[in-house]
Amino acid sequence: MSNPLLTYTRRRYGMDHDRYRWSMLQDRPAVRWPGGKPLALWINMSVQHFPLSGEKPQVAPPGALTMPYPDLRHYTLRDYGNRVGIYRVLAALEDAGAVASVAVSGQLAQRYPTLMERLAATGSEWLGHGWNMNAVHAGDLDPERERQWIGDTLAALEPYAPQPITGWLSPGRLQTALTPELLAEHGLGYHCDWVNDELPYAFDTLKGELTCLPSSLELDDVFVLTNNLHSEDSYCQQVIDAADLLIDEATRLQSGRMLSLNLHPWLVGQPHRIQTVRDILSALLVERGEAIWNAAPSAIIAAAQSA
Amino acid sequence: MPKTELDLYPYQSWEERPQITWPNGAKLAFWVAPNIEFYELEPPDNPYRKPWPHPYPAVPGYSIRDYGNRVGHQRQMALLDKYGIRGSISLSAALCEHHPEIIALCAERDWEFFSHGIYNTRYTYGLSEAEERSMIEDAMATIERAVGKRPAGYLAPALSHSDHTIDLFAEAGGLYTCDLFHDDQPTPVRTRGGQRFVSIPYSLELNDTIAFVVQRMEPRRYGEIIRRAFDELLAEGAQKGTVMCIPTHNYQVSCPHRLRAFEEALAYITGHPDVWVTTGREIADHYLAHYYDAAVDAAGGFT
C-alpha cells in the first residue's frame, strides 16, 4: 500500500531521529553529586526583553505581546520584570544563599547596562537566551538570520558575563531543525530546550556534540501560574512534592536526580508572588538543605558526566 | 454519508441494571491503563488533523512525550508495583520496535497489552476501510510478535475513529473497545459480523492528560477527583457492580510534582475491600462469560 499515512520510514529500534541515543533514566550508570547528596537543584532566572513592535515570530513564546500595537499592557508588564521584579527575586535568592543561573536576552545588554552589571556582580553563570523574545528559533527561519541572532546575543552578553558563556536556552524552548548545529558552531557546550529528561545527556549535531540539560517546562513558573492558572500556593506545593519525590527516588535507587526551576522576574517578581519564591527557596534550601546540592548548570553537567 | 445514529448499543437506564458481581464478591472492578505511546518527530501530514501545533521540529510536544518513555515509565511502574496493580497498556505498537526494553519490563509483570494503533501521530482519519483494516492488523500482529499474545482491546490511535473502527477490530479478533464513554458498566456492542464484543469503561474524565492539559488541574485536585469518583462507584457497585478506570500517560502523571497525589489516590483505592484490582481483558472475559448473553437478551437481541 502506498498511502503515505501508512508508510513508516523510521520505524526501528531507538529514536526516530539522530539527535540522541535512546535510554531510560533508571537504567543509566548511577550519578553521584558532591557530598553524596541525592538531589541537584538548578535554579535559572530568565531575563527577557519583549520588543514593542517588529515582525511577529512563527510561534509566539510564553509571555508574548498579544494586543494590537501599541500593546502597552504587556510591554510594560514584561518591562516591570527588568525594572522591579528582578531586584525582588535577586534579593530572595541572595537572602537564601541560593545559586542561580541567568538566561538573558542579548538585546538587554545594550538596553539596560545597569541591570547587566548588577547581574554580573552576582557571579552567576550566564546563558544565552536569544536576541529577544520575538527572535524565536522556529519553523523555516532563515539559517543566516538564526546564526546572526545567536552570534549577536553571545557578543552582547560576553562583556558582562563573569565566565565565557557555554549554555543556551532558546526563547520558548523552541528550535529550528538547525538550531543545535548553529549552537555548536558558536562554541556553545549545552542547551536546555528538549524537556525529555531529568539529567544532562549527550545531544548530537553535525558540528559536534552538545549536552542537553533539560529545563523542566512542566514546573516552569509561567507554565504553572499563567498557562495552568494554578495558585501560588499550589505552585509552591508542586515544587515541594517534586523535590520530595526526587529525593526519595535518588535515595532508593542510589543515583542522583535533578530538579530544575525556571523563574521569570516579570511574573514571580510581582508583589503578590515574591513570597512564594521565598517559601520555595526556604522549603528547598533550609528544610531540605541536607538533601539538596544547589549548583550552577555547568557544575551539574560536569558532576553528571563524571558518573 | 455520516450516520445520524451511533447504533452500537441499545439504551439502558442506570436504574434498571442487573447486578454484576465481580470475582470474590467485589463491587467494583478497578483497572489502570497506562498509555505507552510513541509520537513521531516528523509524521506525515494528515489532511484531517495536525499532529503537532508547532512547525517541524515540534520540540516542546515531542520532547515531553519522549520524557514519558525515558523517565516517566519506570517511575509509574514502580508505583503500580507498590500497590499490586498490573497495568493494562494502551500501546502504540511501533513502541515494540523503538523501545523493546519497556515492553520487556511490562511483560515480566504480566501486564496486559492492548492496541492503540501504530503511532499516536497516525490517525484513522483519511484511511479507506481496507487501509484501516491493514493498520489494525499491523498493530495486532506487531504486538503479538513482541509479547506472544494477540491484543484483546483497542483504543483507537489518538482517539481517531471511522464508521468501521469497531467492526474491523472485532473482525481482527478483538474482544473489547475502550473508545466508548457511555457507561460505568461493561456493555455489549453491536458489530456487523455479530462477534461477541463489549465496551469496557475507560474514562476521559479521570484521564490524566484531560485533567492536566485540557482542564489544567492542580495535581492535588486530580488525586481528589479520583477519590471522589471511587467513593461513588464503590457505593453504587454494591447494587450494580461498577468499573473504574484511570487512564494515565507517563509524560503527565509521572512528572515528579504530580505523582504523589496519584499515589495517595491509589493507596486509598487499593486499601478498600470489595475492590477487584484487575485488567481490561479480565473485566471483558468475566463479563462475556457471565453477563453478556443476559444483557443482549434484555436488549431484545442485536439484529
In this predicted structure, the answer to whether residue B116 has a pLDDT above a threshold of 70 is: yes
| B47-67: pLDDT as tens digits | 999 999 999 999 999 999 999
Per-residue model confidence as pLDDT tens for chain A (307 residues): 589 999 999 999 999 999 999 999 999 999 999 999 999 999 999 999 999 999 999 999 999 999 999 999 999 999 999 999 999 999 999 999 999 999 999 999 999 999 999 999 999 999 999 999 999 999 999 999 999 999 999 999 999 999 999 999 999 999 999 999 999 999 999 999 999 999 999 999 999 999 999 999 999 999 999 999 999 999 999 999 999 999 999 999 999 999 999 999 999 999 999 999 999 999 999 999 999 999 999 999 999 999 7
| B161-176: pLDDT as tens digits | 999 999 999 999 999 9
Position B299 scores a pLDDT of 84
CATH code of the domain containing B174: 3.20.20.370
Buried b (16+ CB within 10 A) or exposed e, B248-274: bbbbbbbbbbbbbbbbebbeebeeeee
Q: Is the pTM of this model over 0.90?
A: yes
Assess if residue B18 is contained within a domain. no
Assess if residue B154 is contained within a domain. yes
Question: pLDDT over 90 for what percent of chain B?
Answer: 97
A140: which chain B residues are within 8 Å (Cβ-Cβ)? 55
Q: Please state, as a whole number, how many other Cβ atoms lie within 10 Å of the Cβ of residue A9.
A: 10
Binding-face residues of A in 168-227 toward B, CB within 8 A: 172-177, 193-198, 214, 217-219, 227
What are residue B208's DSSP bridge partners? none
Residue A202 backbone phi and psi in degrees, to 5 = -75, 135
Assess if residue B7 is contained within a domain. no
Position B23 scores a pLDDT of 98
Binding-face residues of A in 72-131 toward B, CB within 8 A: none
pLDDT grade for B301, boundaries at 50, 70 and 90: confident
Q: Output the DSSP codes for B55-83.
A: SSS-HHHHHHHHHIIIIIHHHHHHHHHHT
Assess if residue B12 is contained within a domain. no
H or E element at residue B247: strand B242-249
Would you state the CATH architecture of domain A31-305? Answer: Alpha-Beta Barrel (3.20)
Assess if residue B17 is contained within a domain. no
Q: Closest approach of chain A CAs to the CA of B145, in angstroms? A: 15
Number of inter-chain CB pairs under 8 A, A vs B: 150
Position A1 scores a pLDDT of 53
The domain of B131 spans 23-298
A292 in B contact zone (CB under 8 Å)? no
Assess if residue B3 is contained within a domain. no
- Please name the residue that has the C-alpha cell 514584561: A78
Of B59, B66, B131, the CB nearest to A173: B59
Domains of chain B: total: 1
Position B300 scores a pLDDT of 85
B62 in Cβ contact with B41 (< 8 Å) = yes
